[in-house]
Amino acid sequence: MPLTGKNILIGITGGIAAYKICELIRMFKRANANVKTVVTRNALEFVTPLTLETLSQEPVYYKQFETEERKPEHIALCSWADVFLIAPASANTIGKIANGLCDNLLTSLACAFQKQIIFAPAMNTGMWNNKAVQKNIETLKSYGAKFVEPESGYLACGTEGQGRLADLNSIYSAVEELLQENNKFLKGKKIVITAGGTKENFDPVRYIGNYSSGKMGAALAQKACEAGADVTLITSASLTRKMSFNTICVNSAKEMFEAVQEEFYNKNADILIMTAAVADYRPENCADLKIKKENTDELTIKLVKNPDILSEMCKIKKPNQQIIGFCAESNDLIKNAKTKIRKKGCDWLVANDISRKDTGFSSDYNEVFVLDKNLNITKIEKDTKENIASKILESIWQKQAK
Q: 3: number of CA atoms within 13 Å, CB side?
A: 23
Give me the phi and psi of 77, to 5 degrees please.
-70, -35
Helix, strand, or coil (residue 170): helix
- Cβ-Cβ contacts under 8 Å for 136 (sequence gap 6 or more): 91, 94, 95, 98, 99
Catalytic residue among 78, 111, 157, 249: 157
What is the dihedral sign for C-alpha 141, 146, 149, 150? Answer: negative
Q: 229: number of CA atoms within 13 Å, CB side?
A: 27
State the Rg of the chain over Cα.
27
- Cβ-Cβ contacts under 8 Å for 225 (sequence gap 6 or more): 231, 243, 244, 245
* DSSP type of residue 290: P
For the question of residue 157 being annotated catalytic, the response is yes
Q: How many CB atoms lie within 10 A of CB 249?
A: 14
**Catalytic site positions:** 157
